[in-house]
Structure 1
Amino acid sequence: MKTPAPPSRSLSDLRELTPARVGLGRAGASMPTQALLSFTLDHARARDAVHGTFDTSRILAGLTGIGLAPVLLSSQARNRRDYLRRPDLGRTLDPASLRALADRSGGPCQLAIVVGDGLSPAAVNVHAVELVRNLVPRLQEAGIQVGGTAVASGARVALGDEIGALFGARMVLMLIGERPGLSAPDSLGAYLTFAPRLGLTDAMRNCVSNIHGAGLSYDEAAFKIAWLVREGLARQVTGVALKDESGGAPAQIGAN
């Protein structure tokens, strides 16, 4: 008895499963007009995301409303041009920010949260505060208190290491706009580093990425981040030594 052949799947079926550009068709030797216009629009959105304005006032107000006390900091990148051409400048604080943290009162803390603009200020403007709003109750349920909080302009991921070290944090969580793609110009990334200090590499970090409307939801991302924070603090590691084994669906906060 022959096994029935599986039903054939069409390119239209595939297009329903992915935002990737597949099966666009052609008009002579070129793409169809609609496909070309769609590409051009998405490319413009990605460029706009990179060069967008970082709404620090809104983010500071949002974090304050959650009960945090953020401080406004800046990297050594003086403007967006410097930031894009000199990635190294985005990894260290400027003198004024160093003085602001030196004058800060308060001792060591378990977790510091840094919100940086990164390569997509648009993503941070839209998603960062709501993600933190979903995350804080999960951290509190695990007995983890957020200590220092900062909003940093001109930030690369590694800027969180210096800020976390100056806060005296055992771990730093860096929320930052990811490099815009042609299907997701507003994707937020979350990077976790245990024992932050200058000179660490990405091998020492865990990353929860693709946080946006068509990607990870705030609740899903908060669940993963809280698990990584809890386990990272308990095991005193992050990065390649800490695998995401959270599994399952996010539990409801306060559920019995």
Structure 2
Amino acid sequence: MADPVSPAIDAWAAMRAATSARIGLGRSGDAMPLNAVLEFQHAHAKARDAVHTPLDVDALEEALKPHETIHVESSAPDRATYLRRPDLGRRLSDQASPELDAVEKGYDVAFVVADGLSAFAVQTHAAPLVHACMTRMTEFRVAPIVVARQARVALGDDVGERLQAKIVAVLIGERPGLSVAESLGVYLTYDPRRGRRDSERNCISNIHRLGGLSYDLAADKLAWLVNAAVKLQLTGVGLKDDMAAIAGGEAVKEIG
């Protein structure tokens, strides 16, 4: 009796286990296998939902308790306009002025929680990350948390300037991909004011639960960057995000 035919060896299995990228998908005739097609369509649908699903502000503010919150909007009147006009998402609406004007001024740190391009990310990760950060920033005077809808990163400059904060940290939903649709990013800016450039910010990205940065590690990095920014009075290309400094207590380093 002939030996049974050995199953085909999947040469891509080890590489697929090491990455979330779609590699070695195989084929079925002239097309991809059905499972690969369906998985791609599902990931694409999740990414579209992440972009278009509105932020549940009430649920987010409840999750942020006991911290005080302020709700503001950008100058983009709706989601469709926000996606077509990034410039409007960088500016506060006229209705936001009274809300911010009523708040006491002069803070060390202001947190802005912005929906960005993935409300899923903000709804899922923003509150746990804020709580983790607060336990590491007890020596700083922190402003009421600003929850912003239809917002881009630069909206934080406007908020920080109005609150007269030394530093603004914008927690924002990152552009969803076909591997992760709920990734959160943090953008840190020293001396926030309208007109700041992206090169004047530090970014912590890929905060999520599918192999991304954990809340504790992200909070450690952010706390270290805040302390370093205060010492050097800058953020951006002049401030090196040095994880060795967190682990080993090294001195803050400035990039020349």
Within the candidate set 132, 135, 139, 1:134 is matched to 132
- Quick one: which amino acid aligns to residue 143 of structure 2? G
Identity of aligned residues (%): 46
Query: In the comparison of the two structures, how many residue pairs are matched?
Result: 238
CA distance in 2, matches of 1:107, 1:99: 13
Within the candidate set 168, 171, 175, 1:175 is matched to 171
Stretches (4+) displaced over 6 A: 248-251
How far is the alpha carbon of 1:107 from its aligned partner?
Answer: 2.7
Tell me if structure 2 keeps the 8 A contact 1:190–1:209: yes
How far is the alpha carbon of 1:234 from its aligned partner?
Answer: 1.1
How far is the alpha carbon of 1:10 from its aligned partner?
Answer: 3.8
CA distance in 2, matches of 1:250, 1:146: 25
Within the candidate set 193, 197, 208, 2:189 is matched to 193
Within the candidate set 135, 159, 164, 2:160 is matched to 164
Tell me if structure 2 keeps the 8 A contact 1:220–1:250: no
Residue number in structure 2 paired with 1:114: 112
Q: Normalising by the residue count of structure 1, what TM-score does the alignment of the two structures yield? A: 0.90
- Quick one: which amino acid aligns to residue 89 of structure 1? L
Residue number in structure 2 paired with 1:18: 19
1:201-227 Cα offsets, whole Å, 9 max, x none, are 110100000000020010111111111
5 Å matches for 1:71-90? 71-90=70-89
Instruction: Tell me whether 1:49 sits opposite 2:50 in the alignment.
Output: yes
- Quick one: which amino acid aligns to residue 17 of structure 2? E
SS of the counterpart of 1:73? strand
Tell me if structure 2 keeps the 8 A contact 1:114–1:173: yes
CA distance in 1, matches of 2:53, 2:71: 18
What 5-or-longer segments of structure 2 have no aligned partner? Answer: 1-9, 249-256
Residue 181 and residue 96 in structure 1: after superposition, are their counterparts in 2 closer, same or farther (change >3 A)? same
What 5-or-longer segments of structure 1 have no aligned partner? Answer: 1-8, 252-256
- Quick one: which amino acid aligns to residue 243 of structure 2? S
CA RMSD of aligned residues (A): 1.6
Instruction: Tell me whether 1:231 sits opposite 2:228 in the alignment.
Output: yes
Tell me if structure 1 keeps the 8 A contact 2:91–2:155: yes
1:105-145 Cα offsets, whole Å, 9 max, x none, are x23110000000000001000000000111111111xx223
Tell me if structure 1 keeps the 8 A contact 2:221–2:246: no
Residue number in structure 2 paired with 1:254: none
SS of the counterpart of 2:170? strand
1:157-200 Cα offsets, whole Å, 9 max, x none, are 00000001101000000000000000000000000000001111
CA distance in 2, matches of 1:171, 1:238: 9
Residue number in structure 2 paired with 1:62: 63
Q: Normalising by the residue count of structure 2, what TM-score does the alignment of the two structures yield? A: 0.90
Tell me if structure 2 keeps the 8 A contact 1:111–1:148: no
SS of the counterpart of 2:243? coil
CA distance in 2, matches of 1:64, 1:212: 21
CA distance in 2, matches of 1:138, 1:212: 20
SS of the counterpart of 2:54? coil
Instruction: Tell me whether 1:221 sits opposite 2:227 in the alignment.
Output: no
